[in-house]
Amino acid sequence: MRFVTVVTVKYNFLIIFIISIFYVSIKSKNIQYRKATVTRYQQLPSVFTRFSRHFLPIFNRYPTDTKERTGERMKTLSAREYLGQLQELDTNINQDLERLEGMKTNACSTGGIDYSAERVQTSPSGDSLCKAVTNYVDFNDEINAEIDRFSDAKEQIIKQIRGLHNARYSQVLFKVYVQFKSLKVASGEMGMSYQYVRNLHRAALARFEETYDNLHYLT
């Protein structure tokens, strides 16, 4: 029984060692989406990612908020709906980053491992720890994928706005749909009346729809 206990202890120490490397390897990386920044967690080293997915027990993945839009993907959108996708993606990323922090706290607070258990398999708390780490790794990867989609969508929308070849139209659309500012704030920054900017915004959306037909969901 002494041998079994030693094996269990070594296995549990291995888990703790891996988790230690995991947390040390996660560093924040600021991406300037607008004046405020969204924190992107760097992807884990490929060696750890492969190890965590093939060696640790396999559990159900943490549920995501990503909606399946298979049936809606080909729906034609208005310019306002199309451009508004960028802020929706940004909001989803910020919400998921908050969820990720909660998962990190959950993984850190998982009950201790029973080193006195004389059996080869891990204790229930050890299994919970493995599950928490696996969920964290998977969800971290999903957020990085979300950020990649956001960056691609942002680049595309900026190019399309500039493609209108109208300085005033581009300015108001950029402020509202890329910098996420209200028309009131935009009018103040542009040095124009609110009513004028409101009409300018409406005209810019009409020009956008004329220039780019068949607008669809970006992701």
75-134: per-residue pLDDT in tens?
Answer: 899 999 999 999 999 999 999 999 999 888 877 776 544 545 445 454 555 677 788 888
Number of structural domains the chain divides into:
1
Q: Tell me which H or E stretch contains 32.
A: strand 28-32
| Distance, CA of 95 to CA of 140 (rounded, Å) | 13
139 domain residue, yes or no: yes
219 domain residue, yes or no: no
The residue that leads in pLDDT, 174 or 37, is 174
55 domain residue, yes or no: yes
SS (H, E, C) 78-131: CHHHHHHHHHHHHHHHHHHHHHHHHHHHHHHCCCCCCCCCCCCCCCHHHHHHHH
Give the pTM. 0.64
| Distance, CA of 175 to CA of 77 (rounded, Å) | 20
171 domain residue, yes or no: yes
136 domain residue, yes or no: yes
Q: How far does Cα 8 stand from its chain's mean position? A: 36
- Expressed as residue numbers, the domain containing 36 is 2-60+67-211
Q: Hey, how many other C-beta atoms are within 10 angstroms of the C-beta on 137? A: 22
- The four Cα atoms 198, 202, 207, 210 give a dihedral, to 10 degrees, of 170
106 domain residue, yes or no: yes
Most confident of 19-33, 122-136, 182-196: 182-196
| Distance, CA of 6 to CA of 17 (rounded, Å) | 16
The tokens for 150 are: 């956001």
218 domain residue, yes or no: no
Residue 70: the pLDDT is 52
3-state secondary structure of 167: helix
146 domain residue, yes or no: yes
